[in-house]
Amino acid sequence: MTISTSVYQLNADRPDEATISLASRTILAGGLVAFPTETVYGLGAKALSEAAVAKIFAAKGRPPTDPLIAHIADFEQLPQIAINLPAIARQLASHFWPGPLTLVLHKSARVPANLTAGLDSVAVRMPDHPVALSLLRAVAVPIAAPSANLFSRPSPTSAQHVLDDLAGRVDVVLDAGNTPIGVESTILSLLHDPPCVLRPGGVPLEALRSVMPDIRYETRFVGEEVAASSPGSLLRHYSPRARVLLFSGLDEAKVFAAMRAEITRRERVGVIVSAADARQFTGLDVAIECLGADSGQAAARLFAGLRALDKRGLNFILARAPEKKGLGLALWDRLLRASVGSLIEV
């Protein structure tokens, strides 16, 4: 079913009150509003309404086994979502909220089963973006919001990305420009002892460990058919239509040589690489998306770059595995998933 989608431009720092109020009425009436957060655009609906949450799954084509993140504007809203809060929840929240850290906690009985994909746990965070916070304050209830893309496509970092995927499937899109961080939140389970990162993201592991040194992180990728006991570990995700080949190796010269050989051997190839790496591909028949000078810029540009290359109708997109530190860990995770496990060790 197609619905009419209204798009409103907003100032990212000082969102217009009348527009926020209109969007909040849409959410409270059970509708869908896409809005910017500091990570990516979210597809929001009332978190405590089963019917509203069901609309999110339908609009995205998201499997019911993949749970959503609930968003709040105030720590005092947390008991509506989660119970038996460990002391470290408040400690982590005071360090990282508002910000790109999602905590997995015991769910409250008020949370509908579809929000958590039937799990006893629930994921929650407080986003650090004036538009998201204004909307959350205006509705005064938690908002469920996964990324505002079609399931398994690269996440949206602009309102245009949202419209490319969801025009006719969402009531309102709040457009406040590009999202500053560009990769999703770090998901930390406080139900594990010690706490465990389920998905690397906008808060680097090093920053978490500076507050809580024993936090664990293990990569665990599983197939799509597996029930969501560790839902962040769905492998196929963030995928462009082109096949992504991810090159990794300690000897840079060998890695670049392997990438150039692949470009020469194949047709309709693109690369998505840092500004420094881009020089390795001049003069070749290849579309180049430049991720900038550092991991912060790369995070902000990754999904837009994958989408831009995809629009050119390429067969292959080549990338080099980033160093797994700082935001590089989140980049590595997204590229690995975009490549559906086709990691080429050189």
What residues line the site for ligand AMP (CB under 6 A)? 66-69, 104, 116, 119, 121-123, 146-147, 184, 187, 198-199, 231-232
37 near Mg ion, rule: CB under 5 A: no
Question: Which of 164, 4, 145, 8 lies closest to 73, judged by CA?
Answer: 145
- The site string for Mg ion over 71-110 (x = CB under 5 A, - otherwise) reads ----------------------------------------
Contact between 186 and Mg ion (CB under 5 A)?
no
Q: How far is the CB of 123 from ligand AMP (least distance, A)?
A: 3
Position closest to Mg ion via CB:
147
Cα atoms found within 13 Å of the Cα of residue 92, Cβ hemisphere only: 28
Q: Which helix (H) or strand (E) holds 197?
A: strand 196-199
CB nearer to ligand AMP: give 148 or 273. Answer: 148
Q: For Mg ion, which residue of 19, 49, 147, 152 counts as binding (CB under 5 A)?
A: 147
Q: How far is the CB of 229 from ligand AMP (least distance, A)?
A: 8
- Out of ligand AMP, Mg ion, none, which partner does residue 232 contact, by CB within 5 to 8 A per kind? ligand AMP
Minimum separation from the CB atom of position 192 to Mg ion (A)? 22
| Shortest distance (Å) from residue 314 CB to Mg ion | 23
Closest CA to 324 of 338, 335, 340, 339: 335
Q: Which residues pair with 271 in a beta bridge?
A: 288, 318
CA dist 319 and 272 (Å) reads 5
Whole-angstrom distance, CA of residue 272 vs CA of residue 320: 8
Residue closer to Mg ion by CB (options 81, 148) is 148
How many other C-beta atoms can be found within 10 angstroms of the C-beta atom of residue 285? 11
The DSSP element (H or E) to which 83 belongs, if any, is strand 82-83
State the binding partner of 123 from ligand AMP, Mg ion, none, CB within 5 to 8 A by kind. Answer: ligand AMP
Task: Using the minimum distance from each CB to ligand AMP, give the nearer residue, 67 or 99.
Answer: 67
- Cβ pair 333, 185 in contact under 8 A: no
Question: In angstroms, rounded to a whole number, what is the distance separating the alpha carbons of residues 322 and 338?
Answer: 14
Contacts to Mg ion by CB under 5 A: 146-147
